[in-house]
Structure 1
């Protein structure tokens, strides 16, 4: 490919598909998830011929979108490839989850030929109504940018969408017509550089001064962290600022693990009346809270009982609110670096006492396994550097455990799509296979995406999968339907699935019914995939989970709802 100089910059000729794949690689993406279809096969062949990216074929587009999300959380950016209509809509739920959770993914859709669009020719995987923009419009509410690539816009739009995803920490959607992947165009010769737009100098300096002044003048400053602290890579800066101010740092549950939980100034999870002990007072009595990326919903605010002090500073990725003043055209990292330099070192405030993990009473090894004993055992099983996954349900109990240093927590807290964690596990394993990955999942969530276990086994990944088999949707039983059949699921032989999905596997499977069985399983070396199926009572649930479900029923169904009917709701003994 010959390069030439045009208007001051080097360009070269490349096919559109090769240019797209080159840009993905330059953006740090090494793997592409998805499902083949006739409209995306031309690009897939270019990927195969080029060898720069590795194809990870999934069992469905939904799980490919979950995998790209999990991959992006550890890699910084992820991508998936689907086919027109049927594939795009299958992936839509997962991409919407990435939008809700602020995860940058690139959904590439191999679409119908540009020739067919120009001529109005009916094609399969469309609505057969002559309208070819349905799926661009479907993706508009759940992506930061959407485009149909053409030979005229490819060189500009491919870069724009990749940079938008990375800068905004949100997904984007691009349609690549199947008949243009092999067409040559003029493209930039220089590599794509992932960089935030520099801040407006005056806005940045004014913002830093305003934030620093308020924090320095406060007698009890505090920092509250949402997931954007991780997405914009400012957790180390926030801990440095907390250290300098000697100020406590709390997180909402969507940001579990973003702040090292052994950090001396880590306070715990803030969720209104659902906060960990002392955290609510720490935040709500503060005379200056710096809230980073805070997005309150009922799940993260203790059912709307959170109340941040008046005058809370709200910092987002590209804007900051300080009182009545709004600062645009600033980046979060530049603001925090400037504030760290500007505030004086505080020496007269003591750090938060770091809560020790209290050992529970040693369970009788022959005793029937309960939720309480299960989560106590999980606490003892965690170690520094783990990647820990949670799916909707009783697995939310992980929020009450203390994570060791350098752990990464992956969950769909805001979006709450069941089955997310299995696909995300595949994606994050692909991004960081050297780390230990622990999936905590219930039987109901697992059944939605269980087939993706076959992809994990095919790639010889070695996660630890800890599945609770208690006959259905326990968290929903706390809303309504304690014993109703709509909350039941079929009873699978879960521990047999690795061998069924991948004959000849070296995975080790266990079915545990007692505390001793569980302990023996957890002591197994993680040299291969470990699958532990824990049998528990359908009506045994952690008190915090049941209490949350009971309150959720009041919010969802109101005073006339069925939750007040005798025996219809799994009740918490602490209500």
Structure 2
């Protein structure tokens, strides 16, 4: 007989209680008949605030953006149509290692038991299709029942938090109001303790390698942020006087004003000093490194032999693999174990974007635009990038305490608009700057209405250049398939919220842009910048050209004359 104190609660109330205990204060989503019982419970007594979105895809993006600043995020969808609409965003959370809890109000349990056909299903008598669909993009899945709800709710929430990956749970619509016995104790988000011997041995091995090195270095991927170890990594780098670089998916995870921060490492795409420090290190400590073409300069990254590979719950040191350890405990032990280094030859950091800022009536160009943006940034900003020429943001030098949010590995266009809603909800006290192009914006533009509805005050920088400029660097420089319809973007805040106080600007010259940047940010600012469809900075075009070579091979259509943007076109 269990001695754990219990009480009786409805399944829905217990789920909402556990989400609140896990630090989730808001729930994103779209109402549907199967999830209305839980939604009503939230409105009756739940500890969460409902943020209704214009669609489930945007709800999944919002939950992802929320989780990046809050540690966990959640969304509520309905069976089938809602679940599949959200699955792209959940796939992005899986790719980017973001812990999101996707709750699906599903068909009644009695219908499953009796094999009754219901709407929002395939009408084939099979009820596990959507659980199966979520298998590749989640770390855990379940269908709640009165028998398993008390344990499964806790299991999925803890799994999402510990693994930094999304989970999916179906809540049948006829069980949310059923009473079950649940623990009285609150849910505690904690890592299971490391195996003492494995932890000691791992710390000894890592610290020994670092202490013996003459040119140690640290390379960081996004998991340093997900597992909350950036402070430990900077403390270790400072103690060793070791340089630190990040892959582009980890932009701003390390404070870019930190004295030992070098910049972004991506093989041949790196600044020379960054590449030399990483590839020439005699003891490289990598954190959560997951190489793909986007983060390795098209597979030109070459990490030194014997690189220490540290992950959230395991570490490779040479031929030895250490399981049952947690990253934070390992790093804390290594910091304590390594001796301080008084001095070491300094490394040159990657240079910030160069060039003179343009003013007045000069036609706005990408080069002038990003120079002005560099001067506009300030400490504590949250910056969002979407796929396109806005990737130039990766090359800017960020002030202290900034956060960078993007879908670098997954690369889903339109992600940033939904993510903006989520992160604004998590941290409304910070300044939020969204950078995207017209093509990305058109995918999820409707969520601007929700941002306005909640009176958020982001600054939105939209480049109107007539379509997918980054794709023109791959293929179809002048083809219509890379065009998008021309909207009156700056007019949209008034269209979506007629009584808004948002300030909108249509920018065509450098002087226009400076006027927009001087506007007070006491309301939303929407800046639509008109630029040529072929205008992009050389790094963006070179990256697209190389991407085409990887994607299409030696017989691809990109080998024809004059079908790609080329760097010379914007020199």
Q: How much does 1:363 deviate?
A: 1.1
Structure 2 equivalent of residue 262 of structure 1: 257
The answer to whether structure 1 residue 373 and structure 2 residue 368 are counterparts is yes
Distance 1:206 1:520 in 2: 59
Encode CA deviations 1:494-522: one digit per residue, 9 max, x unaligned.
Answer: 00000000011000000000000001101
Distance 2:423 2:346 in 1: 34
Q: How much does 1:358 deviate?
A: 6.4
The partner residue of 2:390 within 387, 395, 398 is 395
Structure 1 equivalent of residue 473 of structure 2: 478
SS in 1 for 2:253: coil
Structure 2 equivalent of residue 414 of structure 1: 409
Q: How much does 1:571 deviate?
A: 1.0
Structure 1 equivalent of residue 127 of structure 2: 132
Distance 1:289 1:267 in 2: 14
Encode CA deviations 1:140-193: one digit per residue, 9 max, x unaligned.
Answer: 110000000000000000000000000000000000000000000000000000
The aligned runs of 1:213-232 (5 Å cut-off) are: 213-232=208-227
The aligned runs of 1:114-513 (5 Å cut-off) are: 114-353=109-348, 357=352, 360-513=355-508
Q: How much does 1:540 deviate?
A: 0.5
Distance 2:249 2:353 in 1: 24
SS in 2 for 1:570: coil
- 2:17 touches 2:46 (CA, 8 Å); kept in 1? no
- 1:264 touches 1:352 (CA, 8 Å); kept in 2? no
Q: How much does 1:7 deviate?
A: 2.1
Distance 1:555 1:42 in 2: 49
Distance 1:369 1:181 in 2: 56
Q: How much does 1:564 deviate?
A: 1.3
Q: How much does 1:138 deviate?
A: 0.3
- 2:356 touches 2:371 (CA, 8 Å); kept in 1? no
Structure 2 equivalent of residue 33 of structure 1: 28
Q: How much does 1:205 deviate?
A: 0.4
- 2:99 touches 2:160 (CA, 8 Å); kept in 1? yes
Distance 2:485 2:359 in 1: 30
Distance 2:546 2:111 in 1: 53
Distance 2:11 2:357 in 1: 62
The answer to whether structure 1 residue 109 and structure 2 residue 107 are counterparts is no
Q: How much does 1:566 deviate?
A: 1.2
Distance 2:120 2:236 in 1: 53
The aligned runs of 1:544-563 (5 Å cut-off) are: 544-563=539-558
Number of aligned positions between the proteins: 570
Distance 1:453 1:361 in 2: 34
Q: How much does 1:359 deviate?
A: 6.1
Distance 2:131 2:183 in 1: 26
Encode CA deviations 1:299-349: one digit per residue, 9 max, x unaligned.
Answer: 000000000000000000000000000000000000000000000001131
Encode CA deviations 1:40-83: one digit per residue, 9 max, x unaligned.
Answer: 00000000001410000000000000000000000000000000
Q: How much does 1:374 deviate?
A: 0.4
Distance 1:289 1:354 in 2: 17
Distance 2:456 2:464 in 1: 23
SS in 2 for 1:209: helix
Q: How much does 1:351 deviate?
A: 4.2
Structure 2 equivalent of residue 535 of structure 1: 530
Distance 2:496 2:375 in 1: 30
Change beyond 3 A, Cα 1:311–1:359: closer
- 1:389 touches 1:409 (CA, 8 Å); kept in 2? yes
The answer to whether structure 1 residue 569 and structure 2 residue 564 are counterparts is yes
SS in 1 for 2:205: helix
- 2:469 touches 2:482 (CA, 8 Å); kept in 1? yes
Distance 1:434 1:354 in 2: 31
RMSD of aligned residue pairs (Cα, Å)? 1.1
Distance 2:554 2:93 in 1: 34
Distance 2:232 2:289 in 1: 17
Distance 1:352 1:277 in 2: 10
- 2:384 touches 2:404 (CA, 8 Å); kept in 1? yes
Q: How much does 1:295 deviate?
A: 0.2
Distance 1:229 1:405 in 2: 17
The aligned runs of 1:58-97 (5 Å cut-off) are: 58-97=53-92
Q: How much does 1:370 deviate?
A: 0.2
Distance 2:10 2:35 in 1: 15
Q: How much does 1:361 deviate?
A: 1.6
Q: How much does 1:409 deviate?
A: 0.1
SS in 2 for 1:524: coil
- 2:438 touches 2:464 (CA, 8 Å); kept in 1? yes
Structure 1 equivalent of residue 517 of structure 2: 522
Encode CA deviations 1:513-539: one digit per residue, 9 max, x unaligned.
Answer: 000000110110100000000000000
- 1:218 touches 1:288 (CA, 8 Å); kept in 2? yes
TM superposition outliers: structure 1 runs of 4+ over 4 Å: 353-359
Q: How much does 1:199 deviate?
A: 0.3
Unpaired runs of 5+ residues, structure 2, are none
